[in-house]
Amino acid sequence: MNFETESFRLKVGLAEMLKGGVIMDVVNAEQAVIAEKAGAAAVMALERVPADIRKEGGVARMSQIKIIRDIMSAVSIPVMAKVRIGHFTEARILEVLGVDYIDESEVLTPADEEHHVDKHDFKVPFVCGARNLGEALRRIAEGAAMIRTKGEAGSGNIVEAVRHIRTIVKEMKQLTVLGKEELVHEAKNLQAPLELVQYVAQHGKLPVPNFSAGGIATPADAALVMQLGAEAVFVGSGIFKSSDPEARAKAIVKAATYYRDPVKLLEASEELGEAMPGLEISKLPEGELLQTRGW
Amino acid sequence: MQPQVGVLALQGDFEAHARALARAGAKAREVRTKADLEAIDALIIPGGESTTMLKLLAAEDLLEPLRAFGQEKPIFGTCAGAILLASEVTHPRQDSLALMDLTIERNGYGRQIDSRIAHIDLQGRPAEAVFIRAPVIRRAGPQTNVLATYNGDPVLVEQGRHLAATFHPELTGDAEIHRYFLSKLESALD
């Protein structure tokens, strides 16, 4: 796979610009303005935050176009939006609309249980979720220009995002010490293209930026996943489901910048109210897990 | 002592600049605090979101120290960094360091779908310019010197010790522009 095409370099280029930043879920223009004022590097437009999708159930689809348009005209930072896994027509609509990034997301109800979108075929860049290295590399092979952990969206529980980033980082480290013939075997185990496995073995990292999402609710959560190797964070329900969205948004932005500085993290964590309510993952029925969508 | 080059590491592609500096033969120091700023002789402000950087600069009381730094020492800004260096920012209007006499329009080419890689003339040599949601310099004041243009607009501009690019030289394998910035640091130290 060629990472040097102009189109792919531009897609990855925008992801590079988002590093060290916070991408915030917003459901309307007012929330988008609050996010931008708090220092969000981008916003993700969606109809309902994951916590509400989880609570209300039903089929979760791409947002109403009017909401996305309102958000795009309300802020000057990049605007992302979600499509259902495999729903390439929703993606075409968002591409024509001009959103800056598309998240092919397990948070929405999958449209295709076997195929993800062929993302090489689009000019607009895509981000996809992953729980492990094999999944990340399959998404990159399909053309994703940014990977994020899936975590468990809308749970307010960081444990799954930690599991996913630790797994991806560990699996990458393991590849760096293997011989050429062992990489062929690993490619089979990971169910990923050999050339991407070879890339990771050589560089010790993904060929695209590696962000974290799914369960981040506090400044400390953001700093934790960044110390574990995430290069930026997505915060879904964590901001607008808390008692103090504006202050919390600012605090998480600060934590993403000063993630290695405990004194700054203390400052960021002070004077915050209640975080969003959290869910224990082991108490969730398997059918309600969002992370198992996609493969 | 070896001159110290810093890269503002609040948000954005600061690691790509550190790699570009390494290609140009310099080591980069990440700058996030006033103490970091006091330890360096030149600064790069990377690409990223200028609004995010502005919020963090204000929250950490770094705006005035950065303006004072720029009165004495060289700063190189790319994309968001160029926006922060300009004296006037439009679309929308926002605060800046105002260290270069430029009027700059944010997202001047449009959205991500309008991002592009262009081939420009860099002082007689062909060079690649990666524009990502890039700003456009609408006015370059009389004290500035335009070093490269694209579609008739200035894209690489210097003013005294400072340098601004609306594209991302850090995202190409070439380190020519970083080397040029390092030469400004050397002449500033003379």
Over residues B85-107, the pLDDT tens digits come to 999 999 999 999 999 999 999 99
Query: What's the confidence (pLDDT) of residue B107?
Result: 97
Residues of B (56-75) whose Cβ lies below 8 Å from A: 56, 59
Over residues A126-180, the pLDDT tens digits come to 999 999 999 999 999 999 999 999 999 989 999 999 999 999 999 999 999 999 9
Cβ of B51 and A42 within 8 Å?
no
Task: From chain A, pick out residues whose CB is under 8 angstroms from the CB of B110.
Answer: 98
- Assess whether pLDDT exceeds 90 at residue B34: yes
How many domains in chain B?
A: 1
Cβ of A19 and B12 within 8 Å?
yes
Q: What is the pLDDT confidence band of residue A14, given thresholds at 50, 70 and 90?
A: very high
Round to whole Å and give the CA distance between B12 and B53.
Answer: 9
Cβ of A257 and B91 within 8 Å?
no
DSSP result, A159-184: HHHHHHHHHHHHHHHHHHT--HHHHH
The CATH number given to whatever domain includes residue B174 is: 3.40.50.880
Q: A168 to each of A98, A163, A165, A175, how far by Cα in Å?
A: 31, 9, 5, 11
Over residues A28-72, the pLDDT tens digits come to 999 999 999 999 999 999 988 888 988 888 899 999 999 999 999
| Interface test mutation site (partner B, options A9, A17, A257, max chain B beta carbons within 10 A) | A17
Instruction: Quote the tokens at residue A7.
Output: 């189109």
Cβ of B59 and A125 within 8 Å?
no
Query: What's the confidence (pLDDT) of residue A4?
Result: 84
Nearest to A23 by CA among A64, A75, A86: A75
List the catalytic residue out of A11, A82, A119, A241.
A82
Over residues A96-126, the pLDDT tens digits come to 999 999 999 999 999 999 999 999 999 999 9
The amino acid that residue B137 corresponds to is: I
Over residues B132-152, the pLDDT tens digits come to 999 999 999 999 999 999 999
Mean pLDDT within A76-91: 98
Round to whole Å and give the CA distance between B156 and B136.
Answer: 11
Residue B111 contacts A, CB cutoff 8 Å: yes
Q: What is the pLDDT confidence band of residue A1, given thresholds at 50, 70 and 90?
A: low
Residue B128 contacts A, CB cutoff 8 Å: no
DSSP code at position A266: H
Q: How far is the alpha carbon of A241 from chain B, nearest alpha carbon, in Å?
A: 22
Burial B26-38 (b: 16+ CB within 10 A, else e): bebbbbbbeebbe
For chain A, the farthest-separated pair of C-alpha atoms sits apart, in whole angstroms, at 55
Indicate the pairing of strand B162-165 with strand B75-78. Answer: parallel
Query: What's the confidence (pLDDT) of residue A277?
Result: 85
DSSP result, B117-158: EEEEEETTEEEEEEESS--EEEEE-TT-EEEEEETTEEEEEE
Q: Which residues of B are catalytic?
A: 79, 168, 170
Query: What's the confidence (pLDDT) of residue A258?
Result: 98
Query: What's the confidence (pLDDT) of residue B1?
Result: 63
- Assess whether pLDDT exceeds 80 at residue A2: no
The amino acid that residue A43 corresponds to is: V
Task: Kindly identify which residue of chain A lies nearest to residue B115, measuring between CA atoms.
Answer: A10
- Domain carrying residue B124: 5-189
- Assess whether pLDDT exceeds 70 at residue B167: yes
Residue B48 contacts A, CB cutoff 8 Å: yes
Those residues whose C-beta lies under 8 Å from the C-beta of residue A95, and which sit 6 or more positions away, are A102, A122, A123, A124, B113
Please state the pTM of the whole predicted model: 0.96
| Among the partner residues B12, B49, B132, nearest to A77 by beta-carbon distance | B49
Over residues A229-259, the pLDDT tens digits come to 999 999 989 999 999 999 999 999 999 999 9
Query: What's the confidence (pLDDT) of residue A288?
Result: 85
Task: From chain A, pick out residues whose CB is under 8 angstroms from the CB of B82.
Answer: none
How many residue contacts between A and B have a Cβ separation below 8 Å?
A: 109
Quote ipTM for the complex: 0.96
Task: From chain B, pick out residues whose CB is under 8 angstroms from the CB of A78.
Answer: 49, 111-112, 133
> Where are any strands of DSSP class E within chain A?
22-26, 42-45, 79-84, 101-105, 126-130, 146-149, 210-211, 233-235
Query: What's the confidence (pLDDT) of residue B19?
Result: 97
Contact between A278 and A155 (Cβ < 8 Å):
yes
